[in-house]
Structure 1
Amino acid sequence: MADRADQPPGQIAARVHSSTPDTMAITYYDDEKASSKEVLPHDGDILQGDKDKHNYVVEVAPVGEHVTVHDAVFGEVGEEGPNYRSVSWMGAAALMTKANVGLGVLSIPEVFKQVGLIPGLILILVIQGIATYADYVICTFKLNHLEVFGLADAGMVMFGRAGKEFLAITFCLYMIFVSGSAMIALSTALNAISMHGACTAIFVAVAAITGFIFSSIRTLGQIMWLGWVGCVSIVAALLILVIAVGTQGAPVDLPPGESVVIKLFGTPTFARAMSSIASLVFACGGAPTFFGMISEMRDPREYPKALFASQGFVTVLFCVIGAVTYAFCGDYVASPALGSAGPLLKKVCYGIAIPALLLTLMIYCHTAAKYIMVRLLRGTRHLTANTATHWTVWLSSVFGCIFIAYILASSIPVFGSLISFVGALFSPIMAMGPYSLMWLYDNYRDPMADGRFWKARAGRTLRNKLLTGYHFLICLVTIFLTVGGTYGSIVDLIDASKSAQNKPWTCADNSNSVKQ
C-alpha cells in the first residue's frame, strides 16, 4: 500500500511503498482531487498528471532503492543528505508563532505607555492585519515562482540583480540585528535569574555561544518541535506576568503614596510615537522568515492554514498582554515587560522564557545562515550532500551571523532602544513593502511589457483596481515608517546612551535586579 505521495509544487518525485512484489499503489494529488493507479515496479515507471498550470511527475521505485527528489530551490535531494522538505503545516504554524512571539511582544506594554490604551489596541489590530495579508502574499508569490527561497530571490524576479542585492543585504542585516536583540534579552534573563551574578558582557557571550550551537541544526524539520517548546515557554511566561501584575496590587517601582494612572490616549512626541509604531511593526515582522518555512514545508499549499492559525493566536495574545500589563502597571511598566512581575516572579518569568528567547535567536540566525549557504552552494551537489564543503560553508555561515550579532549586542546593550531601531530601519522594508510589490508584479504588471514593472495589464476588474490602490498605499506607508521611525529610534538611542549602564561591553545589570 502506498504512503500518501503528495505532489506539492516544486517537488516532482516521491517514494512509494509496496504491499506485494508485483504491484505498487501510487496516489498523486492535484488542486481538486486525488488519483490512484497501480503500476508495475519497474525502474523508470513514471506517472504524469497535467492539471491547470502544474505538471506533476511521480517517480516510482521499490522500497530500499535510492530515491532522488528534485526541488526547485534545493535541487537534487537524495537520502544521503538533509531532508529540506519535512515541515508539516502544524510545525510551520508553531515556527511562525515563535518567530512573531518573542522579542517584540516584550516591548508592547511600553508602546501602550507611550501612545495610550486605545491607540495601542488599534495599532496592534491595524499592523497585524497588514502583516497577515503581506504574509499571505508570500504563499501566492512562492507558488507562482517556485525558485524563490527568500526576499532576495523575489527581488531578482521583480527588479533583476539590483533588487536581489538590495533585499539580500537588508534581509541579512535585519536577521542579524534581531539575533543581537535576542542576545540582549537572554543576557537580561540571566541577570534577572542570577541577581546579576556575572558581568553582563559575559552573559551576552554565553548567549552567543549557545545560539551558535543550536543555530547549527541544518533543517527546520529538525527544529520544528522546538517551535512548540518555544511557544509554550513564552506564553507561559507572559501568562505568569499577567497574573503577577494583576495580583501584586501595585508595580514594584511605584513610589509610596502614588497610584497607577492609565491613559486612554497618550500625548507622545512625534519621535516617541514613531519609535512606538516601529516597535509594533517589529513585533509583527516575522515575515522574512516565512519564505524559508514555506520552502521547507512538505506541501506549500497548506501554508495559508498555518498562517491564519498562527496570526489569529498572535493578535489576541498581543492585545491581551499589552492591555492587561499596561492597565495594572501604567507608566511604571518595565521594558522588557517581564521585569514588571516583581522581584520573585520576575525570576520565574525570565527562567521560563529562556527557551523561547533562545529559539528566537536560533530561528533568525538559522534563517540568515541558510540563505547565505543556499546562495553560495545553489546548483552544486554540496547543497544537499554531507560533503566537507557543505559542512564548512554551513558552519561558517552560522558563525559569521552569530559573531556579527554578538558585536551589535555588545555595542548597543539597550533592549528597548535596539528593538525600536531595528523596527524602524528594517521592519517596514522586511515586513510590509516588498510583499505589496510582489502582488503588483503578479497581478498589476502587464506580463507582456518587456520587464516594465509599472505598466498595467489590460482588462483589470474593480477588485483588482482596489487592491492595486491598497498595495501602492502600503508602499508609501513603508517609506514613511522607515524615515519617521528611524528618526525617532535614533533619538531614543542617543538618550539611552547617556546612561552609564548602557555603554558598549558594559558589566552593569541590564535587568534592574540590583540597584545601582
Structure 2
Amino acid sequence: MASGMSDVEKNSYTDPTTVPVSDPLDPKYGDETPEYDAVFGEIREGQVNYKSVGWIMATIIMLKTIIALGVLAMPTVLSATGGVPGSLIIIAIGLITTWSGHVVGLFKKNHPEVYSMDGVGYVLAGRFGRELYSVAYPLFMIFLSGSGFVAISIAFNAVTAYGTCTVAWVVVAMVGTFALASIQTLSKVSILGWIGFVSVMSAILIITIAVGIQDRPSAAPQTGPWDKDISAVNHAGTFLGGMGAVSTVVFSYSGTPAFFNVVGEMRNPKNYDRALYCCQSIVTATYLTIGIVVYYFCGQYLANPALGSAGVIIKKVAYAVALPGLFVSVTIYTHVGAKMIFVRLLRGSDHLTSHSFVHWATWLGCVGGCVTLSFILAEAIPFFGDLVNLIGATLGTFMCMVSNGWMWLHDNWHRRHEDKSLYFKALVVLNVFLIVAGAFIMITGTWAAAVSIRNSYATGNISRPFSCADNSNSS
C-alpha cells in the first residue's frame, strides 16, 4: 500500500496483505450486510439504493456491455484467418475473458471497498495505480461510447438513405445517450438492457437468416458464376492481419472491466458467477454463430459491418431493429464510466446516496462530460475508427487481461510457500500467461492499428473532422 495515506484512504481501502483469499464454494461467499455497503455506506430508506441488481438483471447488463458493435465484426475475423483459426480464436478469448470475469468477482470479495477500476489500481499500485486507472477506464468507456455514436449515425444514415448531415445524427446519439445514461442505478438501466438485448439479437437473427436464404451476397456479381473464396485456413493471411483479428475479438469481449460496477450493485454478489457464466456462454455462442454463418454464405463479399451483407432492404431493416440496442450499449458504457468518476468524487459523503443538489449536479455533470467528450472525439478525429482499434488494443487488453492476471497474483502469490498443489501452480501459470499474452496482444495490436492508420493516410482514406458525408454507403 502507498505510504502517507490520508485518514479517508485508510478507512476506505483494505490492507491487501491481510486479505484472505475468497473461496466461491464457501457457503458464506458473497454474504453482505443489507444495511451497509463498503462503497455506498449506510443504505437508508428514501435514498438512492444502488444495491438492487439481481443476477438475471446482471446477466443482461453484462450481455449488453459485451454484445454491441463487436459482434458485427466476427465474420471479418474468420475472413482474415480462415474458418477454423477464427473460430478457435473466438473460443479461446471467450474462455480467457471468462476467467478474467471470475477474477473480478474474487477480487471484489477480497476487497469490498473496490467499486471500479480506480479502486483496483489503488489496491494494486497505491496512488499511482489509482490515478492511472482513473484516467484509463473512463477514457476507454468514452472511446467505446464515441464508437457507438458513429455506429448510431451509420444506422440512421442507412435507414433514412442518408437523410441528413451525419453530424446531426451523432448529436441525436449524444442527446439520447445523455438522457438514458442519467438513470442513476444499474438496476433501472437493466430494464433498457432487455430492450437492447432483444434488439441486437433480432438484428443478428435477421442478417443471419437473410444471408442464408439469398441467392448470393449483394456485393457479389449478380449474374454469372461467382466464388465465395472461403477457406478453413487462410494461407494468404499475414501476421499483422491475424493479430488484428485477435485484437478485434479481444476488443469485442473487453466489457470485463465494467463487471466491477455490476457486482458492486448486485443485491447478492454470491450469484455473480452465475450471471457471468450465462453471459459468456451466450456471447461466445452468438459470436460463433454470426461469424461462421455470415462468413460461410458471403465469403470474400462480406460487408463490414456485417449488417450490410444482405442487400439494401435487409440492411435498412437490420439497422432499424438494431438501433435501440446500439443506444443501450452506449448508455451502459457512458453510465459505468461516469459512475466511476461520480463515486470517486462523492465517496464518503452523504451526497453519494441522497437526492441533494450536489448529488444531482455532480451526477449529471459526470454524464454530460462523458457524452460531450465522446462526441468531440468521434467527430474531431479524422481516423477515429483506427484510433478506437488502437485504444482497444492498448487499454482494452490491459484492463481485461493484464490487470486481471495481476489482480489474481496480487491476492494469491503469498500462498506459494504453503500451497504446493498442482492446481495452485496451474492457476499461477494461467494468470502469468494472461499477463504475458495480454502484453503481447497489446504490442502487436498497437502495431497493427498504427500500420492501419498509416495506410489510411497513404491511400487518402481519411475523412474530415465534423464531416457531413454519408458513412453508411447509402448514397
TM-score normalised by L of structure 2 = 0.90
Within 5 Å, which residues of 2 pair with 1:6-405? 69-256=35-222, 257=224, 258-266=226-234, 267-405=236-374
Whole-angstrom CA distance in 1 between matches of 2:68 and 2:30: 38
Alignment partner, residue 512 of structure 1: 473
Whole-angstrom CA distance in 1 between matches of 2:25 and 2:289: 38
Deviation at 1:499, TM superposition (A): 4.5
**1:172·1:368 contact (CA, 8 Å) conserved in 2?**
yes
Alignment partner, residue 474 of structure 1: 434
Structure 2 SS opposite 1:259: coil
Whole-angstrom CA distance in 2 between matches of 1:56 and 1:269: 51
CA 1:237–1:499: 2 relative to 1, 3 Å = farther
Deviation at 1:276, TM superposition (A): 1.5
Task: Tell me which structure has the larger Cα radius of gyration.
Answer: 1
Deviation at 1:419, TM superposition (A): 4.6
- Percent identity reads 40
Structure with more strand by fraction: 1
Whole-angstrom CA distance in 2 between matches of 1:211 and 1:144: 34
CA 1:55–1:185: 2 relative to 1, 3 Å = closer
Deviation at 1:341, TM superposition (A): 2.2
Aligned length: 449
Alignment partner, residue 492 of structure 1: 452
1:435 matches 2:404: yes
CA 1:419–1:242: 2 relative to 1, 3 Å = farther
Q: What's the C-alpha RMSD, in Å, of the aligned pairs? A: 2.1
User: Unaligned regions of 5+ residues in structure 2, if any?
Assistant: 1-11, 13-23
CA 1:129–1:500: 2 relative to 1, 3 Å = closer
Alignment partner, residue 463 of structure 2: 502
Deviation at 1:270, TM superposition (A): 2.5
Whole-angstrom CA distance in 2 between matches of 1:417 and 1:337: 18
Structure with more helix by fraction: 2
Alignment partner, residue 21 of structure 2: none
Structure number with greater CO (CA < 8 Å, separation at least 6) is 2
Whole-angstrom CA distance in 2 between matches of 1:416 and 1:246: 29
CA 1:107–1:55: 2 relative to 1, 3 Å = closer
Within 5 Å, which residues of 2 pair with 1:411-430? 411-412=380-381, 417-430=386-399
TM-score normalised by L of structure 1 = 0.83
**2:48·2:353 contact (CA, 8 Å) conserved in 1?**
yes
CA 1:494–1:75: 2 relative to 1, 3 Å = same
Deviation at 1:501, TM superposition (A): 6.7
CA 1:319–1:414: 2 relative to 1, 3 Å = farther
Whole-angstrom CA distance in 2 between matches of 1:344 and 1:401: 35
Amino acid at match of 1:348: V
User: Unaligned regions of 5+ residues in structure 1, if any?
Assistant: 1-9, 11-29, 34-50, 59-68, 447-455
Whole-angstrom CA distance in 2 between matches of 1:31 and 1:485: 37
Whole-angstrom CA distance in 2 between matches of 1:278 and 1:132: 17
